[in-house]
Structure 1
Amino acid sequence: MHRRPASAHRSTPVDDDESEDHDMSRKTTPLVTTAAAAALLAGCGAGGASGTDGADGEITGTVTVLTNRTDIVDTTLAGYAKEFEALHPGVDVQFEAVTDYEGDVSVRLNSRDYGDVLLIPNQVTKDQLPQFFAPLGSTEELGRTYRFVDEAAYEGEVYGLATFGTAMGYVLNTDVWAEAGITAPPETPEEFLQALAAIDEKTDAIPYYTNYADGWPLAQWQSNQGSIAGPDALLERTRDDAPWTEGKEQHAIDSLLYRIVERGLSEPDPTTTNWEESKNLIGSGEVATMVLGSWAVPQMQEAAEAAGGSADDIGFWPMPWKVDGDFHSTVSGDYKIGISRHSDNADAARAWVDWFLDSSGFAAEQGGLSPRLDGEAPPALEDFEAHGVEQVELSPAPAGEESVLSDIYNTAEIDLAGEKYRQEFLDVARGAAEGDEAFVFGDLNSRWAAARAQVSAS
């Protein structure tokens, strides 16, 4: 499964004057991409094609669905398509699996050729949503049925709905941890580091696996924001000149990752890691731990069974910090599914989106939280229930401030939701680049403060 490496770097806009529905009255913002990206993305004009109905009112048309799930496109997703087409015989659902989903689809947004239904790339900022996606309804309306509606909304309109929800923590091989003498979740970062050190000393397993080479798993660390600072974590950071200061949430998240690598508790050569192989490694007990969302648990359990073990060998524990005596886990929507604003089959596309969210069973199969308010918690969170973990949902930005956070980190060139800056500070931690922890976080604070001043002045 190819997950979400969300980057946040600046790019330069490309004119789109040849667009037949280009609306010069709409202010457009370039989609942010990695600095190394060859293609630069442009804003599109207002409008969007309507769907196609048959003569009898039946929904018809071909719906092209872009997906990151290369592993299940010919199995699970194909089965969903057959079920949907039985209900809507006039619709043909075709999938296009994209291996480098974030990179390739972000580039394709420069054109009108990005399917009818797709997962919204994490690089798209909120103020850019209307440029590329059709509105699905108001936050007030959709919020009566679905969770996480604010996460892909702008000015009260929703442009994408979560395919499922995920809780943050870390996946572990409980047999390996038990062999090292740890049978309960560590409660502090230092206890966590001590647990990894015990695994290193008492077992043959690699205590922690960064998945540095694939990159996007490093971005999973950022999804823990809110587990210390609470629901207003994002707002607090937009108003803070030095979030990488000891005692603050951003420092707690990144310093733990830094110290894991600095103390030699991760894989020997991070440049050779491999995501698909990492599932087999943790399933077989060759790796003990990875920070990921609850979505990863079923995949690791499957790998454990394939290695001759049991699904029970895989656990999911909360991050090692308590607030007011309790563990907390940030829950949020995973990839948001949206409809291209240039779709020629918008009605058929909407029918697919509604059926996929409400009736396919995808969320439950992936071990995720249901995107629906009336959904049930997945088995992957049984450990959380046992340890009394409190769920935290991040508060949306105040009206008119939806893009302030992304404006700051784009200006600072710190891809908070990506992997580049974490790869850079891990290079320092492992001795492949000059510096130390104080230098790394001092530099991040300086860049952040300068960016805040620039954004405030603009």
Structure 2
Amino acid sequence: MASTLPSRRRFLALSALTALSVPLAAACGADDSDGDPAADGKVTFAWWNIATTEPGKSLFPQIASAFMAAHPNIGIETTSLENEAFKSKLTATTASGQLPDVFQTWGGGVLRQQVDAGLVEDLTDALGWSSELTPVSLQPYQVEGRTYAVPYDIGMVGFWYNKKLFARAGITAPPATWAAFLDVVRKLKAAGVTPIALAGKEKWPGHYYWAYLAMRVAGLPALQRAATTKDFTGPGFVRAGTHLKELVDLQPFQTAFLGAGYGSPGGQAATMGNGKAAMELMGQWAPSVQQDAGAGLGADLGFFPFPTVDGGVGRATEVFGGGGGFALRKGAPKEALDFLRFFVLDNQSKLLASNGYLPVVKGAERRLTDANKKVVADSLVKATGFQLFLDQAYPPAVGQEVNDSVADLIAGKKTPEQVTRSITEAAKGA
């Protein structure tokens, strides 16, 4: 998540990658774990994850303990950090040449920079069980046909909604178009219901709106071309911002949303989970974080894909999202990859049963019991296109500018045109 997570912001600056002064051969796992056998023959490696909310908060340690119980000669030193704290710490340890042996990654352009800097282990030849994983779950972690991380979760962003609040406003079905979505917002406001919960402080949740609108208006190929040409000033991207401004002008978000976090008390997930807002645009981890931060909605929670936009070339079957994976530092012990195989393959049922993750193992989607998760998994199976989170798909500086500029648009500090120019300037300077 922001995962669960879900979530993917302000990760590794290029300067951090190029400022390495410690030879990689000397770079050992963080927290003084070097993965080398100790005098007693025990191998210990460091594992950094972002499982600070349920179900991962309880499940991840259980899986690690089970692995160590089955392998007494292996020790795992676990560090669990909140999303933003994780990224800040990993940036610092990268600059000092002290990457942890196993660490959370969302793939994309961020992982590519790490790969280009020679920091990450190429797992392609060692990952003999990759054929058991779904291609869409592996895609974010592949660079020029080589695989550099193991996925444990995959999904998509969409609207999670409160059925009871929709009914209160007289809304009988989720909207399929952007115009209908804006009408839903108006009806909710008229019924005295806050339409949308948003974590304005953390910025990354806001970029989901602009990214999806760009996909729906300009089409998925336009985002891919822009990444290559480093030009986001096309009319489709401006229109995406214009449509987002249409939403912002309706004042759909909760009071003080600009200072709200995502999983923090009183933040986006808690507002949604406590029934204080009717919708949130979030990834597959949303229900578990809603329940962890608030009361949870149970049977009142529903899900619908991001609407299409009239006149746009993007299709409803083109999805935006990502998941979570783990990469290994260059030279990490082979036992670390053994642990990831155990984590993903041997514990897929536990991951799915926790209701916090979606399957990465082929055929495992049949084990899903939650109706909303089935909708998400089915949408992924039928997807005709997939776009990774923009703040991970693009180089870090570009992804951060997407987050910052879209946040400024939502806050009324930038126009749609200024957003596209700022992102283009960041792309050309990356």
If the length of structure 1 is used for normalisation, what is the TM-score?
A: 0.73
Cα distance in structure 1, aligned partners of 2:12 and 2:67? 38
What is the aligned partner in structure 2 of residue 184 from structure 1?
A: 173
Aligned residue runs from structure 1 range 17-416, under 5 A:
17-19=21-23, 21=25, 60-72=42-54, 75-99=58-82, 100-120=85-105, 124-130=110-116, 131-137=118-124, 144-147=131-134, 148-203=137-192, 205-221=193-209, 224=212, 232-238=221-227, 243=232, 245-246=234-235, 248=236, 250-251=237-238, 253-275=240-262, 276=264, 277=266, 278-300=268-290, 306=295, 310-321=297-308, 327-328=316-317, 330=319, 332-343=321-332, 346-361=333-348, 363-364=351-352, 365-376=354-365, 378=368, 379=370, 380-383=372-375, 390-394=382-386, 406=394, 410=397, 415=400
Is the CA contact (8 Å cut-off) linking 1:280 and 1:300 kept in structure 2? yes
Q: Structure 1 residues 420 and 20, CA, compared in 2 at 3 Å: closer, same or farther?
A: closer
Q: Post-superposition shift, 1:318?
A: 0.7
1:396-427 alpha-carbon deviations (Å, 9 max, x no partner): 9xxxxxxxx846x84xx5636x5212211122
Farther-moved stretch of structure 1 (4-13 vs 209-218): 4-13
1:229-265 alpha-carbon deviations (Å, 9 max, x no partner): 666454233356764555x3x4565444433222211
Report SS of the residue matched to 1:376: helix
5+ residue gaps, structure 2, are none
Is the CA contact (8 Å cut-off) linking 1:211 and 1:273 kept in structure 2? yes
Q: Structure 1 residues 301 and 173, CA, compared in 2 at 3 Å: closer, same or farther?
A: farther
Cα distance in structure 2, aligned partners of 1:54 and 1:104? 26
Q: What residue identity is the alignment partner of 1:202? A: A
Q: Structure 1 residues 229 and 85, CA, compared in 2 at 3 Å: closer, same or farther?
A: farther
Q: What residue identity is the alignment partner of 1:134? A: E
What is the aligned partner in structure 1 of residue 406 from structure 2?
A: 422
Report SS of the residue matched to 2:202: coil
Q: Structure 1 residues 454 and 243, CA, compared in 2 at 3 Å: closer, same or farther?
A: closer
Q: Post-superposition shift, 1:384?
A: 5.6
1:125-164 alpha-carbon deviations (Å, 9 max, x no partner): 4143252211111599665222332312223221112221
Q: Structure 1 residues 211 and 451, CA, compared in 2 at 3 Å: closer, same or farther?
A: closer
Is the CA contact (8 Å cut-off) linking 2:156 and 2:283 kept in structure 1? yes
Is the CA contact (8 Å cut-off) linking 2:21 and 2:97 kept in structure 1? no
Q: Structure 1 residues 270 and 373, CA, compared in 2 at 3 Å: closer, same or farther?
A: same
Between the two proteins, what is the percent identity of the paired residues? 16
Is the CA contact (8 Å cut-off) linking 1:162 and 1:335 kept in structure 2? yes
Q: Post-superposition shift, 1:370?
A: 1.2
Q: What residue identity is the alignment partner of 1:165? A: I
Q: Post-superposition shift, 1:201?
A: 0.9
Cα distance in structure 2, aligned partners of 1:91 and 1:113? 21
Q: Structure 1 residues 59 and 144, CA, compared in 2 at 3 Å: closer, same or farther?
A: farther
1:54-80 alpha-carbon deviations (Å, 9 max, x no partner): 99xx99412221111112465222211
Q: Post-superposition shift, 1:326?
A: 6.9
Q: Post-superposition shift, 1:274?
A: 3.0
Q: Post-superposition shift, 1:291?
A: 0.6
Is the CA contact (8 Å cut-off) linking 1:64 and 1:115 kept in structure 2? yes
Look at both structures and tell me which one has the larger radius of gyration over its CA atoms: 1
Cα distance in structure 2, aligned partners of 1:139 and 1:88? 20
Cα distance in structure 1, aligned partners of 2:97 and 2:261? 33
Is the CA contact (8 Å cut-off) linking 2:105 and 2:325 kept in structure 1? yes
Q: What residue identity is the alignment partner of 2:10? A: S
Cα distance in structure 2, aligned partners of 1:450 and 1:199? 38
5+ residue gaps, structure 1, are 23-42, 397-404
Report SS of the residue matched to 1:196: helix
Q: Structure 1 residues 266 and 91, CA, compared in 2 at 3 Å: closer, same or farther?
A: same
Q: Post-superposition shift, 1:314?
A: 1.0
Cα distance in structure 2, aligned partners of 1:242 and 1:185? 34
Cα distance in structure 2, aligned partners of 1:140 and 1:19? 26
Q: Post-superposition shift, 1:337?
A: 0.8
Larger helix percent? 2
Report SS of the residue matched to 2:51: coil
Cα distance in structure 2, aligned partners of 1:79 and 1:356? 10
Q: Structure 1 residues 283 and 229, CA, compared in 2 at 3 Å: closer, same or farther?
A: same
Q: Structure 1 residues 359 and 257, CA, compared in 2 at 3 Å: closer, same or farther?
A: farther
